[in-house]
Amino acid sequence: MKFIFFGLGNIGWEYNNTRHNIGFEVVNQLADHHQGTWHTTRYADRAEIRVKGKTIILIKPSTFMNLSGNAVRYWMQEEKVSIENILVITDDLALPFGKIRIRPKGSDGGHNGLKHIQYILQSDGYPRLRFGVGNEFAKGKQVDYVLGQWNEEELKEISQPLKKAEEACLNFTFMGIERAMNFANTK
């Protein structure tokens, strides 16, 4: 059985270490911890890892956040992976910094990457992991906030939520969505 984890973000050095690129950070960590090697390919940087006999494809779309659906559809078709075996990892302003939420489906919550995936797949029924980035921004400054770099305090604390997100991804693979939700959403 094969899985695909889509870590959402924007390509380019100017987006490194930004809140909007937390999806990239989660899949980077999975690749680092499980000997995955990144290769640039169509619509994405791609790595493949094996964990306890399961194949997990890690994808960092190169389509920019607002066109993430193109990469999701392409790689689902290319790898012949069904919608219930994908996990989209993204930032979420509605959750406090470091809070993790897994859901089997749901609205886009105003997130343009999720909105495009929903449009392309014609479904909101795909699993997603939302990583809280907080909402400490002035009115009208949302874009600056999500595209902004982590502050010093966040950088000191981010390793633990990243570890929790990695665990949640693997729990999704080995326990299924319901048990992964129980584990990740209640801590």
CB 134 within 8 A of CB 97: yes
Residue 77, φ and ψ in degrees, nearest 5: -70, -45
Active site residues: 20
What residues does 61 pair with on adjacent strands? Answer: 44
CB 127 within 8 A of CB 177: yes
**Residues in contact with 183: Cβ distance below 8 Å, sequence separation at least 6, in sequence order:** 167, 168, 171, 175
